Structure 1
Amino acid sequence: MAAGGAVTKEPGTDRFARRFQDDGFTVLAFDFRRLGESGGQPRQIIRMREQLADFDAAIAYASTLPEVSPDRIAIWGFSLSGGHVLRVAARHPRLGAAIAQTPLVDGVRGAARAGRHQRPLAMLRVLGLGILDAIGGLAGRPPLLIPLAGEPGTVAMLTTPDSRDGNRALNPDNSYPQWRQLIAARSGIRIGLYRPGRYAPGVTSPLLVLVADQDQTAPAGIAIEAARSAPNAEVAHVMGGHYAPFLDAHEQALDSELRFLRTHLLAPDRTRSKLHTPTPESEPIR
């Protein structure tokens, strides 16, 4: 499990991870490099190639755990990492399942829609900072950091109405004070050009795309289009904005995701066809 852009694993996965674990699944949540408890300098920078490699490494590590069957590994991500799920699943056809929750599948189209909630001058300032930061990065300068979310007219990565629910959804009562809600301005350019939905046709594993119908940050319609291009995908809907699965629609989202995982990871016919038969001394497969 991996969290969205510049969100660390605890605020980004804890609420879902605990319930998955309570349901009998082994859970591995990780921070991408340059974020949270992972290494890497400079901090708060997102590079797609690095994050995809980190997802690959997490899958490889999970497959070595004694309580895990390599043929029954699922991946989960939301927002930016939900987009990563499509690319990662496309190159790991043996995955048992994949869940992309309110995924960013087309940064170009998503940025155009999100831009409707930002003022032109502020948008130019954010773009200018991104370019300056990218040039500074080539010279080895520290990143220029901007807030993940803010009001229209302020310098922030996102100013959509539902993006401002992020702290309330992921960090209630400041439960995760060490989470730096900042991102390198240069990373915003990369995210705005990222188009992982193009890889959806190559995802042959069972895929669940969970969309929030009023999502203004990662529009549901774009994610649904990507899901329709995948050969073995289904779409689940919840009402609300980008963070609805962490807020009022949490139980509904969990029900959909747990049903999907049980169906595709625990089905008896899958056990017979793809997994070894445990011997009496074997550890139980979860």
Structure 2
Amino acid sequence: MLTSLLLKYPDATFQKHYPSELTPMKIWFTNETQDEFIGIKASDLTQEEIELLRCLFQELSGDQKRLNESPRSIEWFEFLFNKGPAPSHDGAEYRVIQFSMKEKTDIQLMKEAFNHLLPLLTVLVLLDEDKGLIVEEKSDFQLDEEQLRSISHVIESDFFVSVSFFIGQFQPVNRDFIRSYKYECEMHSFSEDTLRSNYIQSVVTVLPPFMLKHLPVEWKEHIFNKTKQVFSEDTELIHTVKAFLENQSNISQTAKKLFMHRNSVQYRIDKFIEKTTIDIKTFQGALLAYLAVLDYESDNLPKK
């Protein structure tokens, strides 16, 4: 009977052994003989559904301290998920770097590895066997993309798991911090489902495609109709325009990136401007063109 719940909750985890970890991110149920177990994301369940499932099946309970043992980790977990008091912060700003792994591994060894690799002013908060948070205090020596890339390479080589990161924004530690974190969770989820080409994302990189997704279809059809026609007529043009925009509108850098002569790049940029009347050499024109590129890619290029 538990397997039938997969029709209602296709993202649930079904297995025939007791789950190795129990966390608040996923609610687990078992049958009377306890030979089948199903874990459903808490975000996929309403309170009424939880109460109904409790009447039909046995709910498993767990202690979050098995994942988060340090006082600071527990403090931050309680603050973010259980309406606990704000952690001690001395007025400093903090940000949350979310991470997730495609494969599960030994959680204790993974925890030790992260604690060894992370700098001093960070707190590791584990949410499940394959996801967690790095809470970082703002300082002169904060984590950057290169450091996160190095951490990812070490984890991948030692544990054979792929790690992706989403870098949040620094915020004062108050109740608005939790609301901002929830917005960033939504953007992180969107990036995992849609932007699969880069394993280090941030608010800056995800916001343009995230906004584009929520733009009404009829608006997109009206705004990007001309650029779609131009790109369809010359499919190579989109690569030139995108590279030009991603290289700070620098002709020489774009030519080097595409292994083209700078005059060829200049010709293609002028051709795009002439056909679309969008001057991508200006900030406003570049912004519109970049959204047009993202819209065209989402509709026409194969997903990675």
| TM category, shorter | under 0.3
Structure with bigger RCO (C-alpha 8 Å, 6+ apart): 1
Per residue, is there more helix in 1 or in 2? 2
Q: Which has the larger radius of gyration?
A: 2
| TM-score of the pair, normalised by structure 2 | 0.23
